[in-house]
């Protein structure tokens, strides 16, 4: 971007906002309430990423096709993960059963509980 193309925001101020969001994302989950953990840890991660991409990487000042290029990769990635997730996160379906995964969960849970007792 050329020097005269745009006025810079206060980068130190943006950095301060990012640090404040970091503090919230660490402290929020300490409350151990599932919804608050999801919002403070993952919701804030999305906000932090948006701030970095917009104000540090200046994607809004690039040619429009840069955002489309990057955005289409995110869409492809979400499609791939979304298509595979139901088969990976569940260990059984109408006509199949993932014995190895179910055994792994059982073994891991038993080992974890044993560790906690020690």
Partner 1 sequence: MSFPRPVATMREATGMPTGRLAVWWVIASEIVIFGGILGSYIMHRLGHPEWAHQSIHTNTWIGAFNTFVLLTSSLCAVLAHQEAEKKNGPGAARYLMFTTLGGLTFLIVKSIEWTNEIKHGYTITSNTFWSFYYTAAGLHGLHVLAGMVIMLIVAADARKGKELQRVENIGIYWHFVDVVWIFLFPLLYIAK
Residues making contact with partner 1 (CB under 8 A) = 1-3, 8, 11-12, 14-15, 18-19, 22, 25-26, 29, 37, 41-42, 45, 48-49, 52-53, 55-57, 62-63, 66, 69-70, 72-74, 76-78, 80-81, 84-85, 88-91, 101, 104-105, 107-109, 111-113, 115-116
Question: Nearest distance from residue 35's CB to partner 1, in Å?
Answer: 14
User: Given the complex with partner 1, which of 70 and 95 has the nearer CB atom?
Assistant: 70
**75 phi and psi, to 5 degrees?**
-60, -45
3-state secondary structure 43-99: HHHHHHHHHHHHHHCCHHHCCHHHHHHHHHHHHHHHHHHHHHHHHHHCCECCCCECH
Question: Nearest distance from residue 117's CB to partner 1, in Å?
Answer: 12
Tokens 């996160």, residue located: 89
Q: Collect all residues with Cβ–Cβ distance below 8 Å to 52 and sequence separation of at least 6.
A: 18
What tokens were used for 116?
A: 């906690």
Question: Nearest distance from residue 97's CB to partner 1, in Å?
Answer: 13
CB 39 within 8 Å of CB 47? no
Question: Nearest distance from residue 95's CB to partner 1, in Å?
Answer: 18
User: Given the complex with partner 1, which of 33 and 73 has the nearer CB atom?
Assistant: 73
């Amino acid at each position: 971007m050329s020097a005269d193309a745009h006025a810079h925001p206060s980068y130190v101020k943006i950095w301060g906002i990012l640090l404040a969001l970091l503090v919230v994302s660490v402290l929020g989950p300490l409350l151990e309430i599932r919804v608050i953990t999801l919002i403070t840890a993952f919701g804030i991660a999305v906000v932090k990423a948006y701030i970095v991409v917009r104000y540090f990487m200046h994607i809004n000042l690039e040619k429009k096709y840069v955002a489309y290029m990057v955005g289409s990769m995110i869409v492809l990635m979400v499609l791939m993960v979304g298509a595979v997730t139901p088969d990976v996160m569940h260990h059984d379906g109408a006509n199949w059963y993932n014995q190895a995964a179910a055994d792994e969960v059982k073994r891991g849970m038993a080992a974890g509980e044993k560790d906690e007792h020690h």
